[in-house]
């Protein structure tokens, strides 16, 4: 499948630093992704907590290689990767993915930051990187949906440092000034919607004080031409084997079939010819503290 973007949406991404696409994953696919996140021992066994300054906590799991799990298939799907390549202007590879799980009433906040504020220090020379955030639950203002400052990617990289609490965030003076000029957008999403955003787009989210869970899957990509200058905790250029868009549906037939439990435990769900030789390596980012994502 070619890029999901219309010309107008591509221009919107360039102007605004983000584009929100509705229904990138249909209900069955999103149910499958959500169920995989909830039940896969590889996720459950690698949760760690990320604290905010006011005692809220986001549960997270982070992994480097997309592999053959259902969430790996989503990250490798033509519809997502071709869209990323359209946005970044050429071949991309998977830099890492993560689940950010804000539980009802206790989900933590994220301070204003740019992803490139972290990734710059990983030896990524160019801000030719982006993320897609996929809603697994409804994401609303009340349960802490993502917020972006429209057009902030044009500001370039902003200094980041340790803020009150444990998070690394963008220079607050600069953010305050940017807020006076740029529109604050709440990216409210339904399950299956996807927000593609540039690595220099300032973003944050509120705590979840609502009774509604807010789980999202974030897949991050780097341009193949932007191979980091040094080895670090995320991958160097690794060719990404795309899978057809129906790979998720096929995986779903197995997951919701009789052998569901084994499928979750085995985690190999892509058709054999699409499975990647690299092992899906979950890496545990440093728990709490000033995570460099
Ligand atoms: O899940 C969220 O609300 C924000 C996540 C985020 O900004 C990040 O992982 O860089």
- Which has the minimum average pLDDT: 1-10, 152-161, 193-202, 244-253? 244-253
Alpha-carbon distance of 23 to 10, in angstroms, equals 17
Minimum-distance ligand 1 atom for the alpha carbon of 102? 1
Q: Which residue has the higher pLDDT, 282 or 123?
A: 123
Between 268 and 244, the more confident residue is 244
User: How much is the pTM?
Assistant: 0.90
pLDDT at residue 126 greater than cutoff 70:
yes
Does position 274 have pLDDT exceeding 60, yes or no? no
Specify the higher pLDDT residue, 251 or 26. Answer: 26
* Alpha carbon of 210 to ligand 1 centroid (Å): 18
Residue 282 has pLDDT above 60, yes or no: no
In tens, the pLDDT along 70-103 reads 899 999 999 999 999 999 999 999 999 999 999 9
Ligand 1 mean position, distance from CA 81 (Å): 20
What distance in angstroms lies between residue 139's CA and the mean position of ligand 1's atoms? 13
Pocket test residue of 141, 146, 187 for ligand 1, highest count of atoms within 8 A of CB: 146
Q: Measured in angstroms, how far is the CA atom of residue 146 from the centroid of ligand 1? A: 7
Do residues 186 and 145 lie in contact, with contact meaning Cβ atoms separated by under 8 Å? Answer: yes
Strand partners, 149: 184
The arithmetic mean of pLDDT across residues 215-242, rounded, is 97
pLDDT of residue 250: 85
Minimum-distance ligand 1 atom for the alpha carbon of 218 = 9
How far apart are alpha carbons 183 and 115 in whole angstroms? 19
CA of 100 to the centre of ligand 1 (A): 7
Mean pLDDT, all residues of the chain: 88
Which ligand 1 atom is the nearest neighbour of the CA of 115? Answer: 10
- Give the pLDDT mean for 251-263: 58
| Centroid of ligand 1 to alpha carbon of 212 (angstroms) | 18
Cα 153 to chain centroid, rounded? 17
pLDDT of residue 293: 61
- Does the structure show a pLDDT above 60 at 280? no
Q: Which atom of ligand 1 is nearest to the CA of 113?
A: 7
| pLDDT given for residue 1 in this prediction | 60
Cα 49 to ligand 1 centre (Å): 13
Atom of ligand 1 nearest to the CA of 145: 3
Q: Which CATH architecture has domain 7-273?
A: Sandwich (2.60)
Ligand 1 centre to CA of 56 (Å) is 14
Residue of the CA atom closest to atom 1 of ligand 1: 100
pLDDT above 80 (res 272): no
Report the pocket of ligand 1 as residue ranges, CB < 6 Å. Answer: 98, 100, 110, 115, 146, 203, 205, 216, 218, 293
- What integer pLDDT is reported at residue 257 of this predicted model? 55
| Domain spans in the chain, listed from the N-terminal domain onward | 7-273
CA distance 253 to 274: 16
Index of the ligand 1 atom closest to the CA of residue 98: 9
| Buried-state track 261-279, b at ≥16 Cβ within 10 A, e below 16 | eebbeebebbeeebebeee
Residue located nearest, by CA, to atom 10 of ligand 1: 115
In this predicted model, what pLDDT tens digit does every residue of 151-186 receive, in sequence order? Answer: 999 999 999 998 876 688 999 999 999 999 999 999
Computed on alpha carbons and rounded to an integer, the radius of gyration of the chain in Å comes to 18
Segment 55-75, tens digit of pLDDT: 889 999 999 999 888 899 999
How far away, in angstroms, is 94 Cα from ligand 1 center?
17
Share of the chain above pLDDT 70, in %: 85
Look at residue 283 in the predicted model and tell me its pLDDT: 39
pLDDT for 162 equals 86
Find the angle CA(181)-CA(162)-CA(122) to the nearest 5 degrees. Answer: 90
With cut-offs at 50, 70 and 90, classify the pLDDT of residue 258. very low
């Amino acid at each position: 499948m070619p890029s999901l973007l219309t010309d107008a949406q591509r221009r919107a991404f360039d102007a605004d630093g983000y584009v929100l696409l509705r229904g990138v994953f249909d209900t069955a696919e999103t149910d499958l992704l959500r169920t995989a996140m909830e039940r896969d021992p590889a996720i459950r066994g690698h949760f760690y907590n990320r604290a905010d300054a006011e005692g809220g906590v986001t549960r997270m799991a982070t992994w480097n290689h997309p592999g053959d799990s259902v969430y790996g298939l989503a990250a490798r799907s033509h519809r997502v990767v071709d869209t990323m390549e359209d946005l970044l202007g050429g071949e991309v590879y998977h830099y890492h993915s993560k689940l950010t799980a804000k539980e009802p009433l206790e989900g933590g906040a994220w301070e204003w930051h740019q992803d490139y504020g972290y990734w710059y220090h990983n030896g990524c020379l160019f801000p030719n990187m982006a993320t897609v955030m996929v809603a697994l639950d409804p994401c609303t203002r009340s349960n802490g949906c993502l917020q972006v400052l429209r057009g902030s990617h044009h500001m370039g990289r902003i200094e980041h440092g340790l803020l009150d609490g444990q998070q690394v965030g963008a220079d607050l003076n600069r953010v305050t000034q940017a807020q006076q000029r740029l529109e604050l957008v709440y990216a409210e999403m339904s399950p299956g919607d996807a927000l593609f955003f540039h690595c220099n787009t300032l973003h944050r989210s509120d705590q979840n004080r609502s009774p509604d869970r807010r789980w999202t899957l974030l897949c991050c990509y780097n341009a193949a031409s932007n191979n980091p200058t040094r080895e670090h905790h995320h991958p160097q250029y690794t060719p990404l084997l795309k899978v057809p868009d129906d790979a998720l549906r096929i995986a779903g037939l197995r997951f919701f079939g009789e052998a569901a439990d084994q499928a979750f435990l085995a985690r190999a769900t892509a058709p054999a010819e699409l499975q990647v030789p690299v092992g899906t390596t979950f890496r545990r980012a440093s728990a709490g503290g000033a995570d460099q994502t």
